Amino acid sequence: MTLKGSINASKFIAFATALTAGACYVIFRFKDRRNRERRGATSPATKLLYKYKQQLTLTPSQITKLDSELQGQIRAGLKAEITTNGLHMLMLPTCVSQIPNGEETGDIYAIDVGGTNFRVKYVRLSAEKSKIESEENFEAPIPKDVMTGTGSALFDFIATRTLNFIMAHEGGQSLEPPLVGFCFSFAIKQLSFNRGILLDWTKGFTCSDVIGHDPVQLLHEAFERAGRQCRVMALLNDTVGVLSAHRYLDQNTCVGIIIGTGTNAAYVEKIGSVKKWSAGPDVDPNAHTIINTEWGAFDSSSLPRCEEDWEVDAATIHKGKYLFEKLLSGMYIGDVARRILLRMARDPSCILFGSKASSDPLIPVALTTKEGFPTSALAKVVEDPGMRPETMARILGVATMSVEACDVVSQVCHLVAERSAQLIALALCAILRHTGWVQNPEGPLTVAFDGGMYEQFAAYRTMIRKAVDEFLGASLGAKITLELVHDGSCVGAAVLAAAATLEHQN
């Protein structure tokens, strides 16, 4: 064996030893949990945990009821306008009459507003089919005071940053106004391909004087104030963006899902089925369009919920609205887990954290504020099923922690993440039943995903995959590919803006 070989061999042995130790620790934790459950089925913490498991795990009868209610709301929303009260899926037509096919070309700037971050992207779509030639990005967090200030301050924020990016990219100012695709990730009643009306705010945005107005016009006015006009060719939702971005690459893509700060889905629908939208006399009713479902606004008394879900809702700006989103998405689920853990920590009979000898419960500092235990912390816990108490203690801001407490935290986080994944899968399956694909799966189907929670939380992606396969059965599930589209909303905005530009030229 060469020296190099022997180094590799020793590295390999060290790696294998670490791997075996890790695996042994996970097995030990599971065995330990089982033993504790056997011994202490009546321990207060186990009892409370059991109660949450019962409340948050979907039963077969809930699955059947929710599936039928989801399909009912889809049908009702396609037939007639739905009142925007944040408690029903809106099923919004998007005015897309040509689904992207990979032949869109051009130089486009895409703007994405609607999550924690504001993004601008330059995209060159090649003349070669389905090829993105170059990209360049700018990203900045949207300050809280801008999210909750005036509409004109929000649009000034967007316009100035977009123009700075364009100037830097162009390296001067070209004569032609830049072409823009505007992804505005809220419920929009679309009046045309590049005009619409904001129906409602979600995800902590409350800017004044925007609801009831056209975001494209507000953006044009802000460009004017900032000294340079752009041509906004397309206005779209982020779900429509992710679907279009992946459809540009893969014609089997029929659904686009966002699971980040908020959650929503768009899917490909037959124009003739959208009774509330008149696409015009020349449009073939068998041709396809894209529908923005606004599934975050779905609600049903059959949803698996606990008291803490209502507390999370009560603490939001949009109380009583978008309740499905509040059980699922990144802005909320860390807070649901935190509140469950806080309740357990405060329960004097549990004494989850701190010494059992003391009668005063110890409350980990991270559990006392929403910011202390964000969804990223929940993801970290779920990603590491054998997390050691020392690591968990650091996350929660306590000095030490028992194996049992570590296990409880881990199970609560898992429970909340799994409920979210199951509900996403259930709502996706309801859409696929509605379109008839489940009953008659003519070919393979791709679902495109984007959003921080899907992108940065691998164990969560696995949970969605598993739930889809469980709901549809393994052989049908195998026909569905779930694909992550990085920066899908921006790429989709560019693709749709390019399509609109080509249509104008012809």
Q: Which residues bind ligand GLC (CB under 6 A)?
A: 114, 185-187, 202-203, 237-239, 258, 262-264, 294, 296, 322, 325
- Cβ proximity to ligand GLC: between 237 and 501 the closer is 237
Identify which of residues 34 and 144 has a Cβ nearer to ligand GLC in the complex. Answer: 144
Shortest distance in whole angstroms from residue 31 CB to ligand GLC: 41
For residues 322 and 332, which CB has a smaller minimum distance to ligand GLC in the complex? 322
Residue 70 CB, nearest approach to ligand GLC (Å) = 15
| In the complex, minimum distance from the CB of residue 404 to ligand GLC, in angstroms, rounded to a whole number | 37
Angle, nearest 10°, between helix axes 3-39 and 403-435? Answer: 90
Nearer to ligand GLC, 313 or 407 (CB): 313
Q: Which is nearer to ligand GLC, 202 or 273 (CB)?
A: 202
Write phi, then psi, for 60 (nearest 5 degrees).
Answer: -55, -35
User: CA–CA separation, 431 vs 290, rounded Å?
Assistant: 13
Closest distance to ligand GLC from the beta carbon of 213 (Å): 16
277/322 with CB nearer ligand GLC: 322
C-beta of 454: minimal distance to ligand GLC in Å?
11
Q: How far apart are CA 17 and CA 390, in angstroms?
A: 21
Whole-angstrom distance, CA of residue 366 vs CA of residue 364: 6
Distance (Å) of CA 474 to CA 415, 467, 470, 471, 480: 23, 10, 7, 9, 10
For 257, the 3-state DSSP assignment is: strand
Crossing angle between the packed helical segments 458-472 and 375-383, to the nearest 10 degrees: 80
Distances (CA, A) of 156 to 22, 139, 153, 159, 456: 52, 16, 5, 5, 31
Please, which residue, 223 or 324, has the CB nearer to ligand GLC? 324
Q: 180 or 331: whose CB is closer to ligand GLC?
A: 331
- Shortest Cβ 251–ligand GLC spacing (Å): 23
Are 141 and 457 contacting, i.e. CB atoms less than 8 angstroms apart? no
Q: Which two tokens stand for residue 291?
A: 């529908």
- What is the nearest approach in angstroms of ligand GLC to the Cβ of residue 291? 12
**Is the Cβ of residue 336 or residue 366 nearer to ligand GLC in the bound state?**
336
Helix axes 307-314, 333-346, angle to 10 degrees: 120
Q: Which amino acid, residue 343?
A: R
Shortest CB 200 distance to ligand GLC, Å: 7
- What is the DSSP track for 304-361? ---HHHHHHHHTSTTTTS-HHHHHHSTTTHHHHHHHHHHHHHH-TTT--SS-TT-SSP
By beta-carbon proximity to ligand GLC, the closer residue of 112 and 156 is 112
Closest CB to ligand GLC: residue number: 262
Least CB distance to ligand GLC at residue 232 (A):
18
CB of 128 to ligand GLC, least distance (A): 31
Residue 71 near residue 433, CB atoms below 8 Å:
yes
44: nearest Cα among 356, 455, 505: 356
Tally: H helices and E strands in the chain: 17, 13
User: For residue 501, with 0-12 CB atoms within 10 Å meaning exposed, 13-18 middle and 19 or more buried, which class applies?
Assistant: buried
